[in-house]
Amino acid sequence: MGLSIITAYTGSSMEFVGISLFTAILCLYATVVVTYRVTFHPLSQFPGPMLARATYGYEFWFDVVHKGQFTRKVAELHKVYGSIVRVNPDELHCNDPAFIDILYRQGKEKRDKSSHYLAAFPRGISKHESVVHEKAQLLCAKLLAWDKNEPFQLTAAYSCFTTDTLTKYAFGHSLENLKGPGWKPTFKGTVDKMTGLFYLSRHLPFLACLADYLPLNVCRCISTEIYALLELIRIVIPQLVQDSLDSESGKVVHPNIVDALLESDLSPSEKTLERLTGEAVALVLGGTHSISTVLSIATFYLLKDANSLDRLRAELRSVVRDETALPPWSTLEQLPYLNAVIQEALRLMHGVASRISLVAPDGDLLYVAPDNSSHVIPCGSAIGVSTYIIHTDPKLYPDPTSFVPQRWLNANGFRNRELDKYMLSFSKGPRQCVGMHLAYCELHIAMAALALRALPHMRLYNTTVADVAYDHDQLISMPKTGSIGVQIMIH
């Protein structure tokens, strides 16, 4: 019995020693890592909170625990530390608008993966402009025919328009959401759910890797949000891409973006079904949300301000004879006030509201701050600019949270292009949205059709500024928690 007691005691002691040793090694490792990050890291000379310089926990706290509040926190940090701040162990953030051109000019050739991909969009738009006109008129007709006593969610209606237009343009055939009953856009629900998962997967990337290998039926049991997203990525969009690839056999005859990529001189590795699907996922998930949100923001503020709507309608009537047959995009984009309304709505939409980080691969970056202090950003270091912080800079945009289209016009009433260089809704340089040209085409045509035909018959229902204003971000700008967005009644 004594021997068994001694054996048990010895075993317990060894277990205790093992745990203690492991804990000591873990603490030593953490101490070494923190010491390196704070003292010897290439970014150690840049200011920032000690916790942010030492660990990603600072960012995690505001991104995940406080649900998308890190961008607001970064704005506060700039007030304390100046125009350049270390926001995590490996990344800087700059809030100086003058730095935008420097940041997005650096290393463009290395980071711009495909100039052919970008070029495919402007070449193809003229062939599909008639589709945008057709869908915009169909949207207006459906809005005007809506039940007068039933409110509806406006972004859902606009998402039907963007989904139909985008799928026709990208894959050669439309999903025809506008022809279905009610307002049931194919991708909107999945996109909304995806944004809620963004920061969790960003800070815990193994979750995204794990999701790549999990069967869909297992994902359905774990999370309906993850299931919906993976179903879209694994089944729905690959099938749309495959249908486009089948066009050579006569199944689909409409030219589209997939065709443009296949006909380009990209390497064969850039033309696989997997790679084409990846590009299509980015296009669909980004394009359906952004345009419908911009249109919703513009509609909200135009309905709140009758003078702005009247001014827009008067300008449109100067070039429009028939509200159901609008002039071409090339004519509409020349209208100063229409442009101003679109630009202001884009500014308040923000695009990717959180920071967009780039790495300069070819050499150090020299940044001269407004106080004339110089900072050398080491080669290979990440530095970002937040769209939200730039778009709400009062030095650029006085009264930045208000909808003021006039800020985009000069004293003569023409477009003020000076502000264009600070517009980041579509990003810039190598990260610039490849669908930007299509987006502007949709916005000009849809906004013109809506202002002339539908907006005079709309009124807001249980909707306030809080339902369109930035509250937090989940990659994209989000309104207050619990908001269902802009609601509309037809009268």
Closest CA to 434 of 242, 212, 264, 297: 264
* Helices (runs of H) and strands (runs of E) counted in the chain: 20, 11
- Quickly count: other Cβ atoms within 10 Å of residue 393's Cβ: 16
Q: Is 5 helix (H, G, I), strand (E, B) or coil?
A: helix
Q: Which of 402, 349, 353, 348 is nearest to 72 (CA)?
A: 353
Q: Are 365 and 106 in contact (CB under 8 A)?
A: yes
Give Cα 144 distance to the centre of its chain: 30
Q: Is residue 433 a known part of a binding site?
A: yes
Over its C-alpha atoms, the chain yields an Rg (Å, rounded) of: 26
The SS3 call for residue 409 is strand
Q: Residue 412 contacts by C-beta under 8 Å, 6 or more apart in sequence?
A: none
C-alpha separations of 417 from 9, 98, 99, 188, 440 in Å: 79, 16, 18, 33, 16
Angstrom distance (rounded) from CA 163 to CA 167: 6
Print burial letters for 315-353: b (CB count within 10 Å at least 16), e (below 16).
bbeeebeebeebbebeebbebbbbbbbbbbbbbbbbbbb
CA–CA gap between residue 124 and residue 137 (Å, rounded): 21
Q: How far, in Å, CA of 293 to CA of 342, rounded?
A: 11
Binding-site residues from annotation: 433
Could you tell me which residues are annotated as the binding site for heme? 433
